Amino acid sequence: MTDLFFANTYSPLSSQEIIAKEKANMDAPRFAHCVRVSQTAQKLARLNHYDEDKAALAGFVHDYAKQVPVSEYREVIKTQGFDQDLLNWNRAIWHGIVGTYFIKRDLQITDSEILTAVDRHTTGDVEMTTLDKIVFMADFIEPGRDFPGVEEARQVTFANLDAGVGYQLAHSLSFLAEKRNKIYPRTFKAYNVWSIKDN
Ligand code: GDP
Ligand code: FE
Ligand code: FE
């Protein structure tokens, strides 16, 4: 078992119970990614004077619902008060926004900062808190990531968290456009706030 430590004051469940539930909800590579995101989030928290335990927990649970079946997502979106427009977009964006439902239900985490960071981790948003940025960037630069530009992304992010957010959004937008994928409006809006150098 990978080293993983966070003081958990955000759920009536113990850290060990959270870890066990998360492990049971995903395959081993996804779990290992979550551990690395947790560790990277902790590091970014330290650099940015944010609560390291909270960042580590938020990073750990960010993809909790990544492997929930599509049928279950559709049911939750239809019955649990989510924007029905979500059904018109790629399932890739559901595990953040709708993932918060499963995290509340299964992991009993109700802290709104943690849930918002999970909600925003795939698309970013116009407004982002320090924790939102930490989780968003930890997900992008964790040591297991390997894509052209990842080293530059790491350098930029460790030097300046906001600049990292701008880097990631520009990178993701070009990646999605290259593949002619549908782009969720929130991703566009976030790009216009965080990635623009001058115009
Ligand atoms: P992961 O969960 O650790 O794999 O990482 P993310 O949560 O950041 O992203 C999951 C996937 O969502 C990636 O393949 C992104 O390219 C994709 N994604 C992010 N924003 C959008 C969007 O606006 N539209 C679509 N179609 N996909 C998106
Ligand atoms: Fe994700
Ligand atoms: Fe992730």
Task: Report the separation in Å between the CA atom of 187 and the middle of ligand 1, taken as the mean of its atom positions.
Answer: 10
Task: Domain 15-197: give its CATH architecture.
Answer: Orthogonal Bundle (1.10)
Q: Which residues, at least 6 apart from 37, have a Cβ–Cβ distance to it below 8 Å?
A: 59, 60, 62, 63, 135, 138, 139, 142
* Domain residue spans of the chain: 15-197
pLDDT > 90 fraction of the chain, expressed in percent and rounded: 94
Measured N-to-C along each axis, helices 52-61 and 112-120 cross at an angle, to the nearest 10 degrees, of 50
pLDDT at position 46 over 50: yes
Whether 171 is in the pocket of ligand 1, judged by its Cβ within 6 Å, is: no
Residue 187, ligand 1, Cβ within 6 A? yes
Q: Which amino acid is at 50?
A: Y
Question: Which atom belonging to ligand 1 lies closest to the Cα atom of 33?
Answer: 3
195 in ligand 1 pocket by Cβ < 6 Å? Answer: no
Q: Is 112 in the pocket of ligand 1 (CB under 6 A)?
A: no
pLDDT reported for residue 5: 64
* pLDDT exceeds cutoff 70 at 1: no
The alpha carbon of 34 and the centre of ligand 3 are apart by a number of angstroms equal to: 7
CA 43 to chain centre: 16
pLDDT (tens digit per residue) in 81-129 = 999 999 999 999 999 999 999 999 999 999 999 999 999 999 999 999 9
